[in-house]
Structure 1
Amino acid sequence: VLYMPSKSIVFGCWNICRSPIAEAVFKKMATDGGVVDQWIIDSGATSDWNLGSLPDARGLACLRKHGIDTDHRARQVTKEDFMSFEHILCMDESNLSDLKRKAKSVKDYTAKIELLGSYDPQKQLIIQDPYYGSDEDFEKVYEQCVRCCKAFLEKTS
């Protein structure tokens, strides 16, 4: 019997920093929690920059520092994602409006589009883009993703 994952999530951000970190963090948590086979986990960009690229090197370094690897390649969120994924969690208001606008072009879409930060127990709603920032900014994104992914995973388990 082929077991099909019953839950699905795609993390969305502007580009190659936040969503690949969130995806990698969530995958590790689901793996450590023994539930990764219940999930289809992905991430995508709201823009078409850097398609096919690896995540930002500073983000990869931050993940490695925490013992997490990713082989993610940047892709754009597609219209199909709004039908095939149960959850689309994004990082800021701009991502949210981009995704909601794109979703409107998909008849009867089923994905629940929310801010990942809405799950933060510390109530940091927005996960700021660290692209023009420092290593500390990437670390902050990582910590926010850990808190939010943990809360989201607990809520959906």
Structure 2
Amino acid sequence: MIKVLFVCLGNICRSPLAEAVFNHKIKLLGLKEKFMSDSCGTSDYHIGELPDERTLVCARRHEIQIHHRARQLNRVDIREFDYLIAMDFSNKKNIQNLMNCFNMEHNQIFLMRKFQPNPDHIEVPDPYYGGDDGFENVYHILDNSVDHFLEHLKVEHNIYV
């Protein structure tokens, strides 16, 4: 089973939505038995909380289910997950800092939009301090990025649908 972890700062906006979009797509493709995904944050700001209400509303609008409580990245995640997918440079650096702290290595750390061909920006913007349109924008970015990430995974792991 291929394990994917989506990572943002507080684990209430971008990463739980990325996880939910990913899970929705693998279910539609009939690949649920091939993948396991989760999400977390690099901070401890929202541990145990549900995703931001605007994230939940956006997901419902697109018929995506989210079942998640915020949690913080830990060294077990680094050891257990095959892919660590950060939403932005800051969180990618936070992942690398945690690895340095525990003298760990991981060779599959990527920015979410790395898989998108010619993205207008390489980071997924944090919609937390904005309005509903920011969450909708993030959804569309993640929807597209996850499609390309899944294509990468299918090629990388010889998965045929």
TM (normalized to structure 2)? 0.90
Deviations 1:120-139 (A, max 9, x none): 22413111100000111001
Identity between Structure 1 and Structure 2 (%): 36
Asked whether 1:62 is paired with 2:62, we answer: no
- The CA deviation at 1:106 is 3.3
**Number of equivalenced pairs:** 152
Aligned residue for 1:50? 46
Identify the match of residue 145 of structure 2 among 139, 144, 148.
Answer: 148
Aligned residue for 2:158? none
For 1:125, give the aligned amino acid: I
Q: CA RMSD in A?
A: 1.1
Question: Which structure 1 segments of 5+ residues have no match?
Answer: 1-5
Asked whether 1:131 is paired with 2:128, we answer: yes
SS of 2:75's equivalent in the other structure is coil
Question: Which structure 2 segments of 5+ residues have no match?
Answer: 155-161
**Structure 1 residue ranges, 4+ long, deviating more than 4 angstroms after superposition:** none
SS of 2:101's equivalent in the other structure is coil
Aligned residue for 1:116? 112
Contact 1:82 1:106 in 2 (8 A): no
